[in-house]
A and B are shown apart, each in its own frame.
Chain A
Amino acid sequence: MTDANAAPEPVPRAPLRDEVAGSDLRPHPGTRRPDRFRHVDSDGLSIAVWEWGEPDAPPVLFTHGGFDFAGTFDGLAPLVADAGWRVVSWDQRGHGDSERAHLYSWGADRRDALAVMDSIGTDPIPVVGHSKGGALMLSVADAVPHRISHLANLDGLPTSRLWPDVPEHHRTEMRRGELAAWLDHRRAARTKIRRPGTIEDLADRRRRMNPRLSPEWLQYLVPIGGYQQADGWRWKIDASLRMGGFGPWRPEWYTHLLASMGMPVLCVLGLEVEVMGWGTLPEDVVSILPANGRFAPLENVGHFVHIEAPEVVAGLILELIS
């Protein structure tokens, strides 16, 4: 069995715009790879930072969701960059081309986010976050409001609507199963590596959690968020990470921060409820929208609003920040 903790073989980073020719990337309509790449040191952890647009244009920070990576903005980011912005995004710790961390937490993600912001400058900047990235930026905005000028949340308001409403003794029994599964995962993770396959295999696996996204889009993502070895492609994301973590955290802890935001806010919500979403409904958003907030529900769009409707979402973001 392979030791996941052994020094990993060097993994080539995803290609930049001018490196696409000759790479394994399969062109996809409406996408464009970033123009620049750099590393940011977050107290010893190497964070991969990507940029689209002119380096001296005004910056806007994009934050991806859980189990994604900055390349999932390859459709949205160029639209905003072409409107005169420098779009900066990063692969969260353990994701994409950032270093795998020993530990993961929301607090650590906030610290990494601020390290990336510090690398841009100290003036307040607009931020955009999708899903977990949206919730993360709400908490960053609450912690350092002086660093954020505008906030766009893309289907990133956690609710407990998808949590089963069951009696306490049933919840205890469910917790028992969750705990055993999580501890078993931790025991196994020391030797776990992600399963290899073809580009089509990896795209098919991802489509189970992203059923509204096209196979062609998901195949486009594989050479960005994955790497190839002799036995096939693997996703780069740290194998110790696992969907559906547990702990004392309550979804409302972050969603309710929305009402506290003092900067102009945009909330985009895909109205098609799906597996990777939070199950958030329009009334959940409207009831806590701050006075300077705008709510934009999108019909016939799922959780990945920026992938399903990039032009619409780019237009909304540009209206917010321009």
Chain B
Amino acid sequence: MTTVRLRHVHTDLALHQLRDRDGGAHPLLLLHGLGERTPDSVPLIAGAWPGSVWGLDFTGHGDSSRPSCGGYTAEVLLADVDHALEVLADDGPVTILGRGLGAYVGLLIAGARAELVAGTVLTDGPGLAGGGPSQHSPSITHARGGVDVLQRSGADRAARLDPDKPDPYALLELAIDVRPADYATTYARLAVELSPVDQPLSVATVARHPWIDAVADLPGVVRERAADALRRFAA
């Protein structure tokens, strides 16, 4: 596995190449779930991909650097992926396979940089639901130290057990990141309208959450098995 280091404003990102295969197909980019990192080798689900396979460690995860004192949003991770596309999509669009949080961020980049993404597959994984579809009561939680500690989530408790990466603030803040259905569908519409491939969004999740159902119900979005979607996007 080789790693390319990318600079995203103040953060160092790790973009790993899991397999180098020229001449087959365009690259596949793996986006991990909340609290995870890029696997050490190509996962089984992507084993048949005919091109090179890459994985990005989000800010505060894996080999990417950890910011001080949090401030995570899914939109910052969207920009993480955009930095990876700046490298990977130089010769053409890239297919994305996202798990959990990575599936949501994969949807965002599929709409935001539609011309650089040749299909996105949304699969189950940690952080898929986020903080639900609507506003919740604001809270103030310190993931390390602090005085006014309010233990409000399992992610927060888990974070206390591990002071290292994944960044406890990432676990805390991205677990409550609000994901309205109409916000998600805006990105899905952009992807469907502007992508270089037909039916560019594949929903392969078992879990049903409001943002996923809203996206899956749109014309141009396909519910299918991840393996089928990858075969379709590789063609």
Contact = CB atoms under 8 A, between A and B. Distances in A.
Contact of B79 (A44, A139, A186): A186
A5 B10 contact: yes
Is chain B's interface secondary structure helix, strand, loop, or mixed overall? loop
B155 interface: no
A250 to B, nearest CB: 7
Interface string A175-194: 11001101100110110000
Contacts of B67: 101-103
B71 A139 contact: no
Chain A CB count within 10 A is highest, among B10, B76, B82, B179, for B10
A183 B10 contact: no
Nearest to A113: B140
B71 A142 contact: no
B219 interface: no
A144 interface: yes
Interface residues of B, number: 48
A246 interface: yes
A102 B10 contact: yes
Contacts of B187: 175
B190 A43 contact: no
B144 interface: yes
Contacts of B73: 103, 105, 247
Contacts of A93: 69, 71
Given A43-B142, A190-B7, A240-B10, A107 B71 contact: yes
Nearest to A253: B135
24 contacts: A4-B9, A5-B9, A43-B69, A43-B70, A101-B71, A102-B11, A107-B138, A108-B70, A110-B140, A111-B140, A114-B146, A140-B138, A142-B137, A171-B186, A183-B112, A190-B8, A240-B10, A246-B75, A247-B73, A247-B75, A248-B180, A248-B183, A249-B178, A257-B138
Interface of B: 7-11, 59, 67-76, 78-79, 82-83, 86, 111-113, 135, 137-148, 173, 178-180, 183, 186-187, 189-190, 193-194
